[in-house]
């Protein structure tokens, strides 16, 4: 049994980028003591995340529909998410949110789907994993409109004011590969400023591999590189910092509690 040293709190191992070596990519993380939370972004990818969570001891799922994917949902989409939400291997509703950068779905449809999934999370007492791009004010307003919902701003790349807004709503900040990039001084400033008990790390695999793997397909094993940079910026030891990140991951996703040594 491998001791858990970190959680990759957001890694898309069901993505087609892993079709050739999915088992091996998971095993590389597991052998290093890294657990993986696999978020859905469509109904099909949510189903795949749940299946992988039941297949691998060190994997857990989130279920949700990404803002890019909300334009043509079936009429029973929320009922399906609700059914998965009751599975004990599902730790959150995610990846959900708003994305006005590419507008792959109309803004009104995005806001409606986001609100519905936030309400589902509250009803099932689950946290959410939120995607936000070029939609900051509407994202914060949508979260604030559902009192009691908690969760994570995944792949956070904002400034201190934005961080404060979501921290005040009871959310965690999750940092991914960009925190290791040469030009990310402003983001590292947020890491140094943020409360240490509200910080998570993730890969967002297969995207945004951290230094020294930048330009390659990302994978959960490499969350250790992001974590090492985060705790270095925090000015604490690797042992203390990694232990805190594990505790924070369980704090953010309560269903991980008691399973960090699987």
Q: Is residue 262 part of a domain?
A: no
The CA R_g of the chain, rounded to the nearest whole Å, is: 17
Q: Is residue 1 part of a domain?
A: no
164-174 pLDDT per residue, tens:
999 999 999 99
pTM equals: 0.96
CA distance 16 to 86: 26
Q: Is residue 56 part of a domain?
A: yes
Residue whose tokens read 């793997």? 213
Q: Is residue 104 part of a domain?
A: yes
221-237 pLDDT per residue, tens:
999 999 999 999 999 99
Say what the pLDDT of residue 3 is: 73
CATH of residue 114's domain is 3.20.20.140
32-62 pLDDT per residue, tens:
999 999 999 999 999 999 999 999 999 999 9
Domain region containing 109: 6-256
pLDDT above 80 (res 136): yes
Say what the pLDDT of residue 98 is: 98
The full DSSP string for 114-172 is HHHHHHHHHHTT--EEEEEES-HHHHHHHHHTSTT--EEETT----HHHHHHHHTTT-E
Q: How many domains does the chain have?
A: 1
Q: Is residue 261 part of a domain?
A: no
149-162 pLDDT per residue, tens:
999 999 999 999 99
CA distance 121 to 18: 29
For residue 198, give the nearest of 165, 237, 222, 239 by alpha carbon: 165
């Amino acid at each position: 049994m491998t001791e858990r040293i970190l959680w990759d709190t957001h890694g898309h191992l069901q993505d087609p980028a892993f079709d050739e070596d999915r088992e091996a990519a998971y095993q590389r993380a597991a052998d290093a003591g890294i657990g993986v939370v696999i978020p859905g972004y469509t109904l099909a990818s949510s189903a795949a995340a749940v299946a992988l969570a039941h297949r691998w001891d060190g994997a857990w799922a989130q279920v949700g529909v990404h803002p890019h994917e909300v334009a043509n949902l079936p009429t029973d989409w929320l009922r399906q998410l609700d059914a998965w939400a009751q599975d004990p291997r599902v730790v959150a509703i995610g990846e959900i949110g708003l994305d006005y950068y590419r507008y792959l779905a109309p803004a009104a449809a995005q806001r409606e789907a986001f609100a519905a999934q936030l309400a589902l999370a509250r009803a099932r007492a689950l946290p959410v994993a939120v995607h936000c791009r070029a939609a900051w004010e509407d994202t914060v307003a949508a979260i604030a409109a559902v009192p009691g919902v908690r969760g994570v701003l995944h792949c956070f790349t904002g400034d201190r004011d934005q961080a404060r807004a979501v921290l005040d709503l009871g959310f965690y900040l999750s940092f991914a590969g960009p925190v290791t990039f040469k030009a990310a001084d402003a983001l590292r400033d947020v890491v140094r400023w943020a409360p240490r008990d509200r910080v998570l790390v993730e890969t967002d695999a297969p995207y945004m591999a951290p230094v020294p793997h930048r330009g390659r397909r990302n994978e959960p094993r490499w969350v250790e590189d992001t974590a090492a940079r985060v705790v270095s910026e925090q000015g604490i030891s690797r042992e203390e910092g990694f232990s805190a990140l594990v505790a924070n991951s369980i704090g953010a996703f309560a269903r991980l509690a008691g399973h960090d040594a699987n």
